[in-house]
Structures are given as C-alpha cells and as structure tokens.
Amino acid sequence: MTSSTNIVAGNWKMNTDVTSGVRLASSVAAGAVAVPGVQIIVAPPFVSLAAVRDALAGSSVGVAAQNVHAEDSGAFTGEIAPPMLVGLCDYVIIGHSERRQFFGETDESVGRKAAAALQHGLRPIVCVGETLDERESGRAVEVIRRQVVAALADLDPEAAGSLAIAYEPVWAIGTGRAATPDIADQIMGGAIGSTIAAVLGTDVASETPLLYGGSVNPANAAEFAAVPSINGALVGGASLDAATFLEVAAAF
C-alpha cells in the first residue's frame, strides 16, 4: 500500500459488556493521542457499538462491527443489516475465521457481505487465512487466492478503495504461534497483492491496506511493522488491555 497511515484494529470478539467496553474504549482513546499516524480501531460486540461510539466521540479511534448480514432487511432473526450499522461504526470485520468455522460463512457469503457493506459506506476489513492442514499440504497460496477472489467478486470497483484485507492464518489465531514475518510477506506481498491487482487493477491493489492478524503482541509487533507489504494489524487477545493494545499500535 502506498498510503502512510497504518491501521491497527482490536477485535474484542465476544468479550466485554457495555460498561467494561466503554471503559476499555476510553482508555484506548486516551492513549491514542500518543500514537499519531496510526488509525486505531476497536471492534466491540454489537450491543456496545452505540456506547463505544459515544465514548470515542472527538477521538481519532475508529469503531468496527464484527460482522454484518448481506441483506438490507428481512426475515433473518438475530442478524444485523448494513443500514443498521450506518452511524454506529465506520468499519466492519467480515469473514473472520471464527465466523467461517463456527457460523457457516463461506467465501461466497463473505463476498456478498463485503459488497453490501461498501454499498452503505461501511469499510470492510475482510479476513482471509489458511488452516494448518492447508498450509502443511502446500495449499496456502491456492486457498488465499480463492478467498480473495471470492471476497472481491461482487465489489463495486469504484468503492473498492475503502476495503482492507486481513491475512489471519487460522493456525496463528489465539494460539500464541504467530506467523513469521517472511510467511506473512509471502502471502500478503505475494498472493493477496497480486490477486487484488488481477481482479481490481494495480491502483486498487496498491491502495488496499493489508493487515496481519494472528497472535500479534507487543513483543512481535515491530517485526511485522517492518515488513513493507504489511500496513497494520488485526489484534485479538492483545486488544483487551488498553496499554498492551496501544503498545502494539505504537509499533506501527
């Protein structure tokens, strides 16, 4: 990516309630002033989006949802539509491996969700990543290319500049076993960059932020930040403590 603003997003997953989420977001906002030049984002559970948005008013910290449905409305009990998120958040994480693994999300549904989010002015952070089995059987690049092609399939090319892609190898998420910077670069600078270029052109490819995710912490963040193809991080466990999360952000 050519832009100089790296992105560090904290995925709180199914952690925090409204009170503790507001407290965490407020602590992140207070510390974010000391981390200029990095777009810090927090992704609380849906029920806390409004309160966290209010707590972050006037700060530089962005808000993301953790999921969205592809339809604007309808008989989809328990789901949240893109128009419902407008005004609550600027970003939405789509296709996290936990959604794919536990909630039946497919490459195709991820593509439809990304397109729907963009249509409503939400910035998708689309997650892709191979399992350990796929990596060990030599299929990592093939899997990533397939996931990226599907994620981009329905996008309006005019709006695609708002997209970010997170490479999150499934074997690295929540395991304490991060990818090496070399592995991340092979996938991000290689497979992901070239696939975006092939589908949407080199201009979009060069502008699309690519985030690394998977056991990022203050001890390894600088190694990832030093890789030119890596424009930020998607952080799970280490985003639940403001000081730890801000240390990660400061590395970028």
Q: Is 247 in the site for ligand PEP (CB under 6 A)?
A: no
Helices 107-119 and 140-152 pack at an angle, to 10 degrees, of 40
Q: Cβ atoms within 10 A of the Cβ of 201, count?
A: 12
Of 64, 199, 235, 249, the one binding ligand PEP (CB under 6 A) is 235
**Residue type present at position 248:** V
Per rule CB under 6 A, is residue 125 in the interface with ligand PEP?
no
Binding residue (CB under 6 A) for ligand PEP from 230, 236, 246, 247: 236
210 in helix, strand or coil? strand
9, 64 Cβ separation under 8 angstroms: yes
Radius of gyration of the chain (CA): 17
Residues in the chain: 252
Q: Which is nearer to ligand PEP, 1 or 238 (CB)?
A: 238
In whole angstroms, the minimum distance from the beta carbon of 175 to ligand PEP comes to: 7
Contact between 48 and ligand PEP by CB under 6 A: the answer reads: no
Catalytic-labelled residue, pool 69, 96, 98, 105: 96
Sole binder of ligand PEP in the list 90, 105, 134, 168 (CB under 6 A): 168
For residues 245 and 250, give the distance between their C-alpha atoms in angstroms, rounded to a whole number.
9
From the list 52, 216, 246, 248, which residue makes contact with ligand PEP (rule: CB under 6 A)?
Answer: 216
- 61, 213, 224, 231: which one binds ligand PEP (CB under 6 A): 213
CA distances from 114 to 69, 73, 77, 145, 164 (A): 9, 16, 20, 16, 10
Q: Which residues are catalytic?
A: 96, 168
Write out the residues near ligand PEP by the rule CB under 6 A.
Answer: 11, 168, 173-174, 213-216, 234-238
